[in-house]
A and B are shown apart, each in its own frame.
Chain A
């Protein structure tokens, strides 16, 4: 599988994502500077986490005007697979590739810890290796992860099964207490109506191998591979 990882000024999870696809899963990865366009032949594009443009104005607000974003939008419009993680999710929202907006966490704190999310829809190109209702433990690290949208849009994305992950308790109950940031309806991740663009606040790339003590996030990447009929290749890492 050919993966493009976009690098914005201030991205800081770009190499983590590249590492998972390339070194852990044995896929082909190209890093794409935000001033360039997308090369041909890509199967999927990753908008990584970080603090693009220092989160100035609003998170993702300036990155969405980076030159590469025109190509990312065209890629998505053509059905290409796009995953935005954390700041990548915020950029997808600002770019209008996903509906809604991120506002400051209700606690006002930057929250960096493991959370539990429930897989609400396992019949997607990003979750087909998960069970419906499965609980994944994946870390979050953000100050602006409080998802908001208007009631009409919310009803639409729920009816269309576009809500993919919701914050929950370790045993899978979606409760206000399990919501770390005040996100509307405990939404932690969602996709577009066509099912080819996913945004999620938790960082699956930080929980994708045994060495890190948590492999739950790996399921997201394996699902993307499965969507292309691929399986993980011999890892380039030496297992100990």
Chain B
């Protein structure tokens, strides 16, 4: 199965990259662009046919390594 994982900063955590991009969008004339948040997107092939087992594994991957849950949250879909 393939896991498609999004890791993003939690609400309230300052995102300097997002701010810089927001300013750049503004100077390009996109005056209505706001609240830019930069995150990460990862794809992982999981060699597992049982959806529940794959789900549990991906959750562990996120908790242990892919996200730092002090500042980040994650969501994923399995296909």
A57 to chain B, nearest CB (A): 7
A118 to chain B, nearest CB (A): 24
Interface size on A, residues (CB 8 A): 19
Whether B70 lies near A150 (C-beta < 8 A) is yes
A148 to B68 CA separation, bound complex (whole angstroms): 12
Chain B residue numbers with a CB within 8 Å of A148 are: 13, 70-71
For residue B39, CB closer than 8 A to chain A, the reply is no
Whether B68 lies near A58 (C-beta < 8 A) is yes
Summarize A's interface: helix, strand, loop or mixed.
loop
A101 to B70 CA separation, bound complex (whole angstroms): 7
Q: Mark A92-105, 1 if CB is under 8 A from B, else 0.
A: 00100000110111
Q: Which of B1-43 contact A (CB under 8 A)?
A: 13-14, 16-17, 20, 40
A182 to B15 CA separation, bound complex (whole angstroms): 12
Q: A57-B65, A61-B65 are in contact. Are A104 and B17 (CB under 8 A)?
A: yes
Starting from the known contacts A94-B68, A101-B71, A103-B16, 16 additional A-B residue pairs (CB-CB under 8 Å) come to A62-B65, A65-B65, A101-B70, A103-B13, A103-B14, A104-B16, A105-B16, A107-B16, A108-B16, A108-B17, A148-B13, A148-B70, A148-B71, A149-B70, A150-B70, A182-B16
